A and B are shown apart, each in its own frame.
Chain A
Amino acid sequence: MKTISFAYSTRLTFDDNVINHSFALRCIPIESPPQRIVSYNLTVTPYTNLNYSTDTFGNNVASGYIARLHRYLDFDLHGVAVMDSTVPKTDLRPFYHFPSLMTKPNEKAEELFSAVRDKLAFMNPREKTVYLAEYIHSFLRYDKSLTGITTTAAEAIGLGGGVCQDFSHVLLMLLRMSGVHCRYIAGLSFCDGETHSWIEFWDGEQFVGYDPTNLCYATDEYIVLSQGRDYVDCAVDRGRMFGAYTRQVQLVKSKLEILSYE
């Protein structure tokens, strides 16, 4: 068990003033059996009233609306979580079993999958996950210049590389093809200055976190911000605003610190 303080901030700057800005943030870490949120504080500037709800996937959603002219949107979150990965996460849902928007296989993916289908036949979900994650590294390299947030698993394979989001998508796609329930995780970890992504697979009794980018299990040092079928369900911020120039620059910072071990 570990007590960890987390901090996460984003500054969105628009090229010009915008109005009628609606947004939904999924940046408050989820509350789950292995992840207890002791306290948190979310500030949005310019000030607006926030409404809190929990979506289908268990994510905390803070939504708001800013009608008046503004040039930027800042949100700043910090808090403390107690992590204990020995407590199981059991919120299995049927939709984690089926291909999602970002994880639909194409022909190339079918081909890559067929090449290892026989090997997977006698593996359990845990073995499949480890095997497939290593397999992915044989055709996908870590490269920040190739993909964006809307790149699908199939597209990432075509490009031959990507970032943590793409490694997660490709692994989810292959795991679902092999019959394993699994989900996308957006979160914070010590290896990253921004947000990180990994996956959780269903081992028959509980969800187990696995980081396909770094080829390791997700430990007590991985804070889950949001979870879902793929990135689309987990986007940390989504918004819509009006203005002549709504091009924006997003600056993200995150920091984790271990406060105590037990």
Chain B
Amino acid sequence: MENNVQSFIPTALTESSVEINELLRRYGVKFGIYKNGVFKEQFFPFDPIPRVITHEDFSQIEKGLCQRVNALNMYLYDIYHDKKIIKDGVIPEDFAYISSGYLPQCEGITPKNKIYSHILGIDLVQADSGEWYILEDNLRIPSGASYPLIARELTRISAPKAFSENYVADNRDYAQLLKSTMDYVNCGGINAILTPGRYNAAYFEHSYLAELTGAMLVENNDLFVENNILYCRTYSGGKERVGALYRRISDDYLDPLCFRPESLIGVPNIMEAFRAGNTAIINAPGNGVADDKGIYYFVPKMIKYYLGEDAILKNAPTYLPFYEEDFKFVMDNLETLVIKDVAEAGGYGVVFGNSLSSERLEALRQMIIAEPRRFIAQEVINFRDLPIMENGETVMRKADLRAFVLAGETTKVWASGLTRFSRDPSSFVVNSSQGGGFKDTRVLSQ
């Protein structure tokens, strides 16, 4: 099946690459990055060769992700309430409480329907063997769903036959999925999407998703809390109650009266409205305690603990220098492992042991010895390379898949996703903030 993927691509589609990229530009499909302190907006290069995921593969991924997300939501409830998983010794308390994502201010708060993470972006890779591995969970503000969504829309225009002649699952339901996820936890009032503003890396996405779901796109100064209720100012000087807020700003900046006082992009006292159950915050604050790179190691154990099941999808083989046995292994094999700083995200703080000079390797070793809790080490998985077009030729590059999982009345996996690839042939890091591109992800419907 896998080898037939190439023949499945109509030539016309490949040729339309220029046209689609031109359309993406015209629609303003961009993301911003800060490099050396300067803000730059970049187009997110689109590669016309789609990634195709077979129906069988996707069913397996779907089952595995739903299982994982359900366990993660149970873990979040547990951590902010009874802490049974820690009392039972499954997760050492250090890992939960030292995590920068753990927010004591959220202790005892129960979000509506006990859902903490409503929208997750889970990064997977397919190894050479064909097996899928989870690379990381993103339970806070995962971005990227809008890119394949609009790219597919534009591809439909430039190459309609690709869809009429093949069994590709329609991905246009993302907006509906997102809307019903917001509606399910809405505490009375409208749905709104909170953006930090147009200088945010994902501003295109915020505005596009608001447009598609009918939610109001707001900035922090459009919102205020009065009598523990979150309101949005209307143009006529009135106010409208907000029942669900899909916020695209991080926990630290969410409420200057509860978290970082210097935040200028937050909504004061929104945590009080949330605590009182008068508004849903999507995703709930405090979720970082579940997608910490150190906690990642424990997710299969969580699945076993809460659901009594074995994890369907595997983690990449991971070692925690925190444990003595793993520490020894990491010290002995440092040059063959990937080392990740648990506090960093977006492809920052990831180093490959084999790429370091002996001095830098030694410096890294000393850092791990000094702060073993701060790092995790993973074996390098040989990703399956995907074909991409470069100057009219097909070349093979590393790629991953960000699958979007939405937890509402039931947990659902969007039958699409963001496939990101590295443009640098020697690099495994595919994050868009590191200059990668993306492809459409087509799930076969049969």
Contacts and interface: CB of A to CB of B under 8 A. Distances in A.
Given A51-B228, A56-B107, A94 B272 contact: no
B104 A229 contact: yes
A238 B275 contact: no
Given A53-B276, A94-B83, A239-B257, A65 B105 contact: no
B257 A93 contact: no
Contact of A22 (B98, B225, B275): B225
A20 B239 CA distance: 14
A222 to B, nearest CB: 24
B224 A22 contact: yes
B372 interface: no
A65 to B, nearest CB: 5
B353 interface: no
A240 interface: yes
B261 interface: yes
Interface residues of B, number: 25
Contacts of A135: none
Nearest to B86: A94
A23 interface: yes
Interface SS majority for chain B: loop
B268 interface: yes
Contacts of A229: 104
Contacts of A23: 257, 268
A98 B97 contact: yes
A240 B268 contact: yes
B93 interface: yes
Q: Which range contains the number of A residues in contact with the other chain? A: 20 to 34
A65 B224 contact: yes
Contact of A238 (B86, B97, B104, B256): B256
A28 to B, nearest CB: 15
B226 interface: yes
A51 B272 CA distance: 9
A95 interface: yes
A176 to B, nearest CB: 12
B269 interface: yes
A145 interface: no
Interface of A: 20, 22-24, 49, 51, 53, 55-57, 61, 63, 65, 67, 93-95, 97-98, 229, 232-233, 235, 238-240
24 contacts: A20-B224, A22-B225, A23-B257, A24-B257, A24-B258, A24-B268, A51-B227, A53-B272, A53-B275, A53-B276, A56-B106, A61-B272, A63-B257, A63-B269, A65-B269, A67-B226, A93-B107, A94-B83, A94-B97, A97-B97, A229-B104, A235-B261, A240-B257, A240-B268
Interface of B: 83, 86, 93, 97-98, 102, 104-108, 224-228, 256-258, 261, 268-269, 272, 275-276
Which 7 pairs of residues, A with B, have the shortest CB-CB distance? Answer: A22-B268, A56-B107, A24-B257, A51-B228, A238-B257, A65-B226, A95-B104
